[in-house]
Amino acid sequence: MATVVAVFRIYPKEQTDIEGTLNDIRTKMEYKPADMRAEEVAFGIKLIRAAFKFEDKEMGSSKIEEALKKLDSVGEVEVEEETLL
């Protein structure tokens, strides 16, 4: 069994409430991020980068992506990187 780290780019629905989106990810997700931070991309547009660590036989990054998309405060989700540890 291999450990996988997947990094997601998460765009909140409301740019003015990035803290609310961070809080939703921390508290409402079954899968907890190993690392997460808000970053300004350009001209006031912010996104969240979140890294999730999991065993490849248990699940895939698509399950995490689907769970993120179900949060009301999340607009778009992209897998930025996925690698084995």
Distance CA 51, CA 18 (A): 17
CATH code, 33: 3.30.70.60
pTM of the model: 0.91
The whole domain housing 74 covers 3-84
- Tens of pLDDT along 10-66? 999 987 789 999 999 999 999 999 999 999 988 888 999 999 999 988 788 999 999
User: Among residues 74, 11, 3, 77, which one has the least CA distance to residue 42?
Assistant: 11
Q: Please tell me the predicted confidence (pLDDT) of residue 49.
A: 98
Q: How confident is the model at residue 6 (pLDDT cuts 50, 70, 90)?
A: very high
Q: Please tell me the predicted confidence (pLDDT) of residue 1.
A: 77
Q: What total of structural domains would you count in the chain?
A: 1
